[in-house]
Amino acid sequence: MKRISTFIMVLVCAFASAQNINDVLRHSQENIIGTARFQSMGGAFGALGGDLSSLNVNPAGSAVFNHSELTITGSHYNRENDALFGRNTRSTDMNSTELNQVGGVFVFKSQDNPWKKLALSFNYDLARNFDNEFVASGSTTQGIDNYFLAFAQGESLNNLRVQQNETIADAYLNIGADLGFGAQQGFLGFQSGLIEPTEDDPDNTSYFSNAEYSSVNQNYVQRTTGYNSKFTVNFAGQYEENLYLGASLNFHSVVYDKLTLLDEDGYDASSSVQLTTFDNFLHTEGYGFSFSAGAIAKLNDNIRVGGSYQSPTWYEFTDDISQRINSTLAEPDINQIDFGLVNLYEEYRIKVPSKLTGSVAVVFGKDGLLSFDYGYQDMSKAKLRPTTDPNFNSENDFISEQLGVVSTYRLGGELRIDEVSLRGGYRYEQSPYENGDIIGDLTGYSGGVGYNFGGSRLDLAFSRTERDVNTLLFDSGINSTASVNSINTNITLGYTLKF
């Protein structure tokens, strides 16, 4: 049976291993697929409503429903990643199928009250599906020894040794618990034989690499799984004939796993090290809360406008990390350090900034419509917490410098021909970085068809988004990146029942 051990990692080193700008961005970027109708029209529903996923844009939208409805939606996800690393491009293809939306709205009408309708809604949406994978394979001048040297420099040699009556696994856990993540990584580099002390002295704090090379070959795999789900409780009402008001409470549940596998070879023939493997597994669980409020107004029979406010989302997370390493010069018992040894970190929090959305729609009676949404979110205001931690403060300063305003544009249209509805949409989202070379702008196109049976409706949607991302393979010591072109294609089928 595999031995499982845990310890609490001191927060002073936490951000160096897991909690940083990448975590903020991961949990800030919702990519709600939603109902098939919502998806096929690019999510441009801020001034329309009448769709359960539209509550994610404007909570007043549930008051637009004329009947109580239940909707269930499933999606097939396809992700294609082309990763350029060195001079080589590797392609990966990943598929998954999920039940991504379930919800219902209950409409209560009144004849002798200025509030013509009241609506109570419950909806589950998959805010983000983390299932993804890319492979970066090529030649680089920055070997993995640089990662371990960056952490080891300044640590005493005595701290990186296995002490009397300790196993190598015990030493790995104890160093992490007592000295933190940085010393623990230095320990891995020393015990694997990748780095050596300048002097064989317990007080030595200087190290050099045992690996000799002008360039090395690296094969790096990053595989992620998990989800960010969003459950919404909504209440809205129609006042007189032309005004809709609503508010929502949103509850998030997050599970995220990230596995990275590195194989490195191609050292000089004279090098003592000829092969290195280094693998990491991160598991994150958390929950979040936000609220939203909005309004939709009919200016006349054709024009509708909408506005909404999405509060900050407050998340709480816990991380645990497991590692394993081997090399030509590794200690014989290095395999005791494996994924059965779990480093558990203290809880931390992320505040995702608020968002404003303005919308306008033109409705052509029963023949169709056009709709446009604009969203504004200042990502420079994102925060890691507790802010009393000095390392979180420095990372928050980095976030405010690197991130900026994200503007989102969504355009959708629908043409109705008897019982058939033809739909199309476009989506554009700016990079969250001031420097768009790190994460590029996102563009997306969608289309779909729906058939109204009278008491029910069947909808089918197709959507495609594309974005370029420069991904750091490691957070410290190595600044080489893989340039990943990511294309996400979704096929979504939904069924709606009116009652």
pLDDT at 435: 87
Assigned token pair, 435 = 């420097």
pLDDT at 490: 96
Please tell me the pTM assigned to this model: 0.92
Between CA 392 and CA 395 the distance in angstroms is 5
Q: What is the pLDDT of residues 230-243, one digit of tens each?
A: 999 999 999 999 99
Q: What is the pLDDT of residues 236-265, one digit of tens each?
A: 999 999 999 999 999 999 999 999 999 999
Q: What is the pLDDT of residues 165-198, one digit of tens each?
A: 999 999 999 999 999 999 999 999 999 999 999 9
Assigned token pair, 36 = 């098939």
pLDDT at 400: 95
Q: What is the pLDDT of residues 67-116, one digit of tens each?
A: 999 999 999 999 999 999 999 999 999 999 999 999 999 999 988 899 99
Give DSSP secondary structure letters for 429-456. Answer: E--SBSSTTTB--EEEEEEEEEEE-SSE
Reported as a pLDDT band with limits 50, 70 and 90, residue 220 is: very high
pLDDT reading at 5 higher than 50: no
Average pLDDT over residues 409-426: 97
Name the nearest CA neighbour of 20 among 302, 484, 297, 348.
348
Between CA 256 and CA 224 the distance in angstroms is 7
Domain ranges of the chain: 5-143+211-498
Instruction: Provide the CATH topology of domain 5-143+211-498.
Output: Porin (2.40.160)
Helix (H) / strand (E) containing 177: helix 168-179
pLDDT at 6: 44
Q: What is the pLDDT of residues 450-469, one digit of tens each?
A: 999 999 999 999 999 999 99
Q: What is the pLDDT of residues 396-409, one digit of tens each?
A: 999 999 999 999 99
Cis peptide bond N-terminal to 386, omega within 30: yes
pLDDT at 4: 41
50 sits in the region (left: phi over 0; alpha: psi -120 to 50; else beta) called left
Other CB atoms closer than 10 Å to residue 2's CB: what's the count? 7
| 187, 195, 484 from 272: Cα distances, Å | 19, 11, 33
